[in-house]
């Protein structure tokens, strides 16, 4: 019971920290990101990303699952460098020291408070209420009202252009709960986890936070649907895993950015971030989860993301997390016109042979992409 409460609490408090940046990030999620000319210039060694060039997935196999083939396409989009689609990442000699320094920091990331959020502790009842169809808006508003910071953040979301429907400001928590709905409250939880480490400024890595924010929301949504429809498992753990993995990715790239700042003679290289994302994202997320005393099931699911084993060789939560990561990635690639929808659905078919589930998940993600 204690571990379950910790799990619920972990999902909830993720809502307290961040809502100040929510409106900007959400508005960014509601429209295609600016292209390279409007954002930051592509790296000198990079190649501009043409639309709809993503290769079709390889034929259906039992093992191994080619996760990098999917994720490198997402990294190519995030860093605006088509050369990253190659699953063999090449780091130039001059940048190897930066790579090693980043790895040393990430090996003990739980001891780096500048990068990692504090362990969530508040209001496990809120997550239960948000996911309980019998809970009223008044019940949820009463719970949120116990925490002034959370209440203020909820009102900021309700008064953002995304939700505000009238000229008069929303001042009632109950009205705010009604306006944002269940999805808005869950996104508030996601925001609380991701916001502390989302701001990276401009430059080569500047676009990554927006992409990984969108990917984390989509991944957690797809993981929940997979856990509910296929595994009949713990949807709260599945949602938390999707967000934890996204948090791990942001921290990895932020560490890379900061280490490059210590070497002004070197221009940040997307290949270094990609190499770290390949090998350090899941372990980083796992270290954070362990420091929060998450259950062994959660830790095991994160451990399983490092391997390329088949779906049948990993745990139900591990399968749901992997499915969420792939679904979120291909959904974003389609949204930004770097993958055809038919190709995206082929990738989902590789992970889950039930076409009805895949179609339902795809429709849900497509609706989320439309805002």
Q: Are 176 and 160 in contact (CB under 8 A)?
A: no
Angle between helices 208-226 and 22-29 (to 10 degrees): 80
Q: What is the CATH number of the domain that holds 53?
A: 1.10.3210
> Is residue 51 scored above 80 in pLDDT?
no
Helix axis angle for 2-13 and 235-261, nearest 10°, is: 50
Q: For the chain, how long is the longest CA-to-CA vector?
A: 60
- pLDDT for 249-275, tens place per residue? 999 999 999 999 999 999 999 999 999
Report the candidate in 143, 142, 154 with the shortest Cα–Cα distance to residue 181: 154
Coil, strand or helix: which one is 112?
A: coil
Domain range holding 233? 2-370
Q: Is residue 79 over pLDDT 80?
A: yes
CB 215 within 8 A of CB 184: no
More confident: 200 or 272: 272
Question: Are 41 and 173 contacting, i.e. CB atoms less than 8 angstroms apart?
Answer: no
- How many domains in the chain? 1
pLDDT tens across 265-321, in order? 999 999 999 999 999 999 999 999 998 888 899 999 999 998 878 888 899 999 999
For residue 61, pLDDT over 60 is answered with: no
Give dist(CA 261, CA 36) in Å, integer.
22
State both tokens at 109: 């990331």
CA atoms of 334 and 346, how far apart (whole Å) = 13
C-alpha angle with apex 327: 321 to 333, nearest 5 degrees?
135
What is the model's pLDDT at position 189? 66
């Amino acid at each position: 019971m204690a571990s379950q409460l910790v799990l619920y609490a972990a999902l909830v408090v993720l809502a307290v920290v961040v809502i100040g940046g929510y409106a900007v990030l959400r508005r960014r999620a509601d429209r295609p990101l600016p292209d390279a000319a409007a954002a930051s210039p592509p790296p000198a060694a990079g190649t501009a990303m043409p639309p709809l060039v993503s290769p079709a997935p390889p034929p259906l196999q039992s093992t191994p699952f080619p996760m990098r083939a999917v994720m490198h396409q997402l990294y190519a989009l995030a860093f605006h460098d088509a050369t990253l689609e190659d699953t063999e990442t090449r780091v130039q000699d001059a940048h190897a020291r930066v790579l090693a320094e980043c790895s040393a920091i990430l090996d003990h990331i739980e001891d780096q408070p500048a990068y990692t959020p504090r362990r969530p502790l508040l209001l496990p009842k809120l997550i239960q209420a948000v996911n309980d169809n019998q809970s009223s808006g008044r019940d949820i508003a009463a719970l949120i009202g116990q925490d002034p910071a959370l209440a203020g953040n909820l009102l900021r979301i309700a008064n953002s252009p995304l939700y505000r429907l009238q000229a008069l400001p929303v001042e009632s928590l109950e009205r705010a709960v009604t306006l944002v709905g269940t999805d808005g409250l869950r996104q508030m939880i996601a925001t609380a986890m991701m916001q502390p480490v989302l701001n990276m400024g401009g430059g080569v890595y500047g676009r990554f936070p927006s992409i990984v924010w969108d990917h984390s929301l989509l991944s957690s949504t797809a993981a929940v649907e997979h856990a509910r429809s296929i595994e009949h498992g713990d949807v709260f753990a599945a949602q938390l895993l999707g967000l934890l993995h996204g948090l791990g990715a942001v921290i990895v790239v932020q560490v890379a950015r900061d280490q490059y700042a210590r070497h002004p003679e070197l221009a940040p290289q997307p290949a270094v971030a990609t190499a770290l994302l390949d090998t350090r994202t899941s372990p980083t997320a796992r270290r954070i989860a362990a420091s929060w005393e998450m259950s062994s099931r959660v830790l095991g699911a994160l451990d399983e993301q490092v391997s390329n084993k088949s779906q049948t060789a990993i745990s139900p939560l591990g399968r749901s997390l992997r499915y969420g990561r792939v679904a979120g990635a291909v959904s974003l690639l389609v949204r930004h016109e770097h993958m055809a929808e038919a190709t995206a659905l082929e990738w989902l078919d590789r992970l889950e042979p039930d076409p009805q589930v895949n179609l339902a998940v795809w429709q849900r993600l497509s609706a989320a992409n439309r805002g």
